[in-house]
Amino acid sequence: MKKIFIIVAKVLLITFIGNILMKQIIPSLGITNPIMSASMTPILLGILIYFLFYRKTNIKIIENSDYKKTSKKKNIIISIIGLFALGFLFFIVKYFSSEKPTFDKVMIKYASEINKTCPTKVDEDIRLDNTMAMQNNKFKYNYTLINLEKQNIDSNEIKDLLEPTLINNIKTNPDFKIFRDNKTTLTFNFKDKNGQYVLEINVTPKNYD
C-alpha cells in the first residue's frame, strides 16, 4: 500500500511539473516554437522520471551483477529510450487534450470589450447600442437611429446610403482586420428611436475581399 501511495504521489508530481514546464518555464526561456517545446518538455520530464523511478532500481541491479559495466550501459540506453518515449507521450496527450481558444470565443470576448463602452453615439443620428457574437462566424452590431421614426424612414434609401460606407470601412479600418482574416460575416442592425426594426445590412467576405 505504501509503494502504491509513493507511485501515485510521484505521478502527480510529474503531472504538476509538466504543467509548469509547458506553461511557464519553457515559454520564459523564449522557446515559443512548438517543435522545440515538443523536444524540450519530454527530455526534461524524462530526466525527472529517471531519478524518481529508475535510478535506485538500476543501482541495485548493477551492484548485484557480474557484468556491471555492460549492465550499466544497457540500463542507461533503455532508460533514455523509455523515458523519452514516456515524456513525449505525456506531451502529446497534454497538447491534444488541452482546450484551444476558438474564434467564436475570441468574438465573444471582443463583443464584451466593445459593449463596455456602449451605448455610444457614432454621430448625431446614430447610436451603437451593443454588439453580439453570433453562430456560424457572424458578428452583429445593433444601432439606433436616434432622431428618426420608422414611418418616416425609407429603408432602401438608408441602405443605399450606409452600405457602401460600411463595406469601405470594413476593407480599410484596422479594427476590422480580425474579421477580414477570419472571413466573418458582419451584420448591422438598425432600429428607430422607439426601438422599431428598420433594416439590416449583411456584409459577407465576398463584399470586402
Could you read off the pLDDT tens digit of each residue along the chain, which spans 209 residues?
A: 655 656 556 555 666 665 555 555 555 555 555 555 555 555 555 555 555 555 555 545 445 555 455 555 555 555 555 555 555 555 554 544 455 568 999 999 999 999 999 999 999 999 999 999 999 999 999 999 999 999 999 999 999 999 999 999 999 999 999 999 999 999 999 999 999 999 999 999 999 98
Domain 103-208 has CATH 3.30.300.250: yes
Contact 38, 44 (CB under 8 A): no
Q: How far apart are CA 184 and CA 137, in angstroms?
A: 5
Q: Which residue has the cell 428618426?
A: 148
Q: Which of 101, 128, 100 is nearest to 116 (CA)?
A: 128
Q: CA–CA separation, 199 vs 130, rounded Å? A: 16
Which pLDDT does position 110 carry in this prediction?
A: 94
Q: How far apart are CA 2 and CA 127, in angstroms?
A: 69
Q: What is residue 209's predicted lDDT score, i.e. its pLDDT? A: 87
Confidence at residue 100, expressed as pLDDT on a 0 to 100 scale: 52
Q: What is the pLDDT of residue 205?
A: 96
Which residues does 142 contact at the CB level (< 8 Å), separation at least 6?
A: 128, 129, 130, 131, 132, 189, 191
pLDDT at 37 (0 to 100): 53
CA–CA dist 177, 208 (Å, integer): 11
Domain boundaries, the chain: 2-97, 103-208
